[in-house]
A and B are shown apart, each in its own frame.
Chain A
Amino acid sequence: MEGLLPKIVFIYLAVVLVVTSLLVVTNRNAVHAVLWMLVMFLHQAVLFITLDAEFLAAVQIIVYAGAVLVLFLFVVYMINLRTELKIHNFTVFWPAALFVSVALVILAAQALKDFRAPQPVGDMTPEAIAKVGHAKLLGKALFTEHILSFETVGVLLLVAVLGAVVLTRRIRMIRGEGL
């Protein structure tokens, strides 16, 4: 019965992840939604640990639960959003949307019955990871093979910041012109 405990842990994590994700998007109180996201991030970190990815788990806690979430909270407090707006045009189609979502999940489930996991590829076997260590292997892959992706993420963040500046600057300009 040694396979039972990991299974129970996985099922617990999966259920909590799905339920908290739903709570994040359905909760009308923005602060509560962000806090549910914290619960989700923590469970995700545990999921990484069960997959023997300790480094990712640590990063998940430090970056997501630590930094990203605090930023989210800052934004929520800054815009002073007590409760979410309810706009009729957006909510009127929910039965159709629910139908489509459920149909999509059923179709995906049907297709995934055929799913077969491949033979492991590449040089990052579990033995190699255990020998060299996660952080080192990950860093090496990130800064050789995937360095262009890494740099692109940097540019992407720069564009996000620039976009925010451009759009708020427009507001100042319009006010300045008295339009």
Chain B
Amino acid sequence: MWSSLPSFVAVYPETLLVLVASVMALVDRWVTRKAVFTWATIVTALLALALVFLTQGTTFGHTYAADQYGVFFKTIFLLVLFLVALLAPGYNRLLGINFGEFYALLMYAVTGMMLMASTQDLILLYLGLELMSLSVYVLVGLLYAELRSLEGAMKYFLLGSFASAFLLLAMAFLYGLTGTTNIEAIAKALLAANLSANKALFLSAALFVVAFAFKVALVPFHMWSPDAYEGAPTSVTAFMSVGPKAAGFAAMGRVFLIALGAAKTEWTQLLVPLAVLTMFTGAVLAVVQTNIKRLLAYSSITHAGYAVLGIIAGTKEGMAATMLYLFLYAFMNIGAFSVIVLMRRKNFLGENIFDYQGLSKTHPTVALLLLIFLFSLTGIPPTAGFIGKFFVFRAAFEAGHTALVILAVLASAIAAYPYLRIVMLMYMKPPEKEVEISLNPYIFAGLMFAVTGVLLFGVYPGPVIDFARACCTGFLP
């Protein structure tokens, strides 16, 4: 009987993360030097990354495929974990949340994301999503003596559960139509039964769109995100603005491009209006924000709108562009949040954009770093943000969505204003108040890593885009 036990090699990275996370949660009481947890997280992230590249293959009767597509997304998730582990310790100590469970929950969330990226089965997709969401709900509510943190966590939890219900309904309809939950078997069954114009399939696709739009915060399903981003501890905001979003796109790729490949015209016509609405709403609402965390929340809504263009393109090139975009977005967004974390003192939030006024006079290096990250978010060359946008727009253009690309460029012109306004405040206004910077070696290393990524991949993106294309080769024809 033992001979029939399936091979677990393909899930070694996930197993490692779960084991380390469980041990960290367990020993927290006995470890007084909390820096141990930071180091454990960093080492585990790097080890898991090595394992991701070493262990590939399909296992458990084709329900889990550690393929190239999964490898790219897992690289993004582990990169996010690595950067957040560097950003978190100083800030968390200040707020009294620097305990083992914090890092453990981060790792559980990453495990859920990795399962989502590699799943071949809708049930596992749902469970991965829940594992990720549940961990992040708790992380958002960590500071819940603060009313806004409680509010953010509550909204995120209620709307997230609602979205999960939509996802289950979509899966139930798809299962009812095809009789299987395996993603590749669904694709085959839809083609064989010639179901592409079926209205019930359209309903299922629409429900999938709603569920994923909630998770990656596309307008009009974005209501939770500004409150959750503002209320969460900034270290968690940095994590959830990139990680769960990338995981949502990974699942979208598997579900829309593979399972629902037969109904491509149907889900495209649902996603296009959402993408336009998302880019413009995010850009316009970011203009009026004065809290920098809310501003970056709306900015991340806009960026999700750009990233979805690659999915809409529906080609190998499009998916590769979305993956590249998310990879580069991790560097610039976590970089920007690292600067916000630097500004936080015991009795000073450092979240109002006027706190950054005249920063170039008092702290020129910090101002320069924030300038680079904001230029990258705007999409100005030679930063990584430009490269990401360029490839996504080109993929959508080549797939024939010319009007959509024109609108996207217009939206990014509007979206430039809030970023450049902060730059203007930093460089062209005199400083009004004394701000102190809480620097420590971890966040210094994290900032250097992020800024190197932004500039290096802005000038020399070749290897990453080639890697993204190679990862899509086996995934899409």
Binding site for B on A (CB under 8 A): 107-108, 110-122, 144-149, 152-153, 155-156, 158-160, 162-163, 165-167, 170, 173-174, 177, 179
Task: Determine the distance from Cα of A110 to Cα of B199 in the docked complex, in whole angstroms.
Answer: 8
In the bound complex, do residue B198 and residue A116 qualify as a contact, i.e. CB atoms below 8 Å apart?
yes
Within the assembled complex, what's the spacing in Å between the Cα atoms of A155 and B11? 14
Whether A148 contacts B145 by the Cβ 8 Å rule is no
| B131/A156 in contact, CB under 8 A | yes
In addition to A146-B60, A149-B124, A159-B135, 5 A-B residue pairs with Cβ atoms within 8 Å of each other are A145-B61, A147-B60, A148-B115, A163-B135, A163-B138
Instruction: Identify the closest chain B residue to A107 (Cβ).
Output: B203
CB contacts (< 8 Å) of A111 on chain B: these are 199-200, 202-203
Known: A111-B203, A118-B178. A162 touches B104 (CB 8 A): yes
Q: List chain B residues, Cβ under 8 A from A115.
A: 176-177, 198, 200
B residues less than 8 Å from A146 (CB atoms): 60, 63, 121, 123-124
Closest CB in chain A relative to B286 CB, distance in Å: 26
| B159 CB within 8 Å of chain A | no
| Interface size range of chain B in the complex | 35 or more
Which residue from A147, A152, A162, A170 sits with its C-beta under 8 Å from B145? A170
Known: A156-B127, A179-B145. A114 touches B135 (CB 8 A): no
CB pair B202 A155 closer than 8 Å = no
Contact with A along B155-177 (1 / 0, CB 8 A): 00000000000000000000011
Chain B residues closer than 8 Å to A166, beta-carbon distance: 101, 105, 138, 142
Interface pair A112/B203, CB less than 8 Å apart = yes
Please tell me if the beta carbons of A162 and B25 are within 8 angstroms of each other in the complex: yes
Q: Which of B61, B105, B115, B202 contacts A163 (CB 8 A)?
A: B105
Q: A111-B202, A116-B198, A148-B63 are in contact. Are A159 and B180 (CB under 8 A)?
A: no
For the complex, is B6 an interface residue (Cβ under 8 Å from A)?
A: yes
CA distance A150 to B104 in the complex (A): 21
Q: Which residues of A contact B189 (CB under 8 A)?
A: 118, 121
Instruction: State whether the Cβ of B108 lies closer than 8 Å to any Cβ in chain A.
Output: yes
Q: Give bound CA distance, A111 to B22, whole Å.
A: 45
A159 to chain B minimum Cβ distance, whole angstroms, is 5
In the assembled complex, the Cα of A84 lies from the Cα of B114 at a distance in Å of 39
**Cβ-defined contact, B134 with A174, below 8 A:** no
| Contact flags B39-73 to A (C-beta < 8 A → 1, else 0) | 00000000000000000000011011000000000
Q: A158 with B124: in contact, given A113-B199, A146-B60, A146-B63 (CB under 8 Å)?
A: no
Can you give 22 contacting A-B residue pairs, CB < 8 Å?
A110-B199, A111-B199, A111-B203, A113-B199, A114-B200, A116-B195, A117-B176, A118-B189, A118-B193, A120-B179, A144-B4, A146-B124, A147-B60, A148-B64, A152-B124, A152-B128, A158-B108, A163-B135, A163-B138, A166-B138, A166-B142, A170-B145
Query: Beyond A111-B203, A115-B200, is A121–B121 a contact (Cβ under 8 Å)?
Result: no
How near does chain B come to A91, taking the closest CB pair, in angstroms?
15
Known interface pairs A166-B105, A167-B138, A177-B96. Does A148 touch B60 (Cβ–Cβ under 8 Å)? yes
Q: CB of B141 within 8 A of chain A?
A: yes
- B11 CB contacts on chain A under 8 angstroms: 148
- Name which residue of chain A comes closest to B124, CB basis: A149
Whether B145 and A119, one on each chain, are in contact in the complex, defined by CB atoms closer than 8 angstroms, is no
**Complex contacts, A108 vs chain B, CB 8 Å:** 203
Instruction: Say whether A159 contacts B61, CB under 8 Å.
Output: no
B137 at the interface (CB under 8 A from A): yes
Kindly list the 4 A-B residue pairs having the minimum CB-CB distance in the complex, ordered from nearest. A163-B138, A111-B203, A114-B199, A145-B61
Tell whether, in the assembled complex, residue B63 and residue A145 are in contact, meaning their CB atoms are under 8 Å apart. Answer: yes
- In the assembled complex, the Cα of A27 lies from the Cα of B137 at a distance in Å of 27
Does B12 have its Cβ within 8 Å of any Cβ on chain A?
Answer: no
A contact residues around B142 at 8 Å (CB): 166-167, 170
Q: In B255-270, which residues have CB < 8 Å from any A CB?
A: none
Contact with B101, one of A119, A144, A162, A174 (Cβ below 8 angstroms): A162
B135 cross-chain contacts in A, Cβ below 8 A: 159, 163
Report the Cα distance A121→B64, complex, angstroms.
20
B142 → A minimal CB distance (Å): 7
Q: In the complex, which residues 111-131 of chain B have their Cβ closer than 8 Å to any Cβ of chain A? A: 111, 115, 121, 123-124, 127-128, 130-131
The chain B residue with its CB closest to the CB of A117 is B176
CA distance A108 to B131 in the complex (A): 29
In the bound complex, what is the Cα–Cα distance between A125 and B130 (angstroms)? 31
A114 CA to B173 CA in the complex, in Å? 12
Q: Would you call B108 and A159 a contact (CB within 8 A)?
A: yes
Q: Within the complex, what minimum Cβ distance (angstroms) separates B187 from chain A?
A: 13
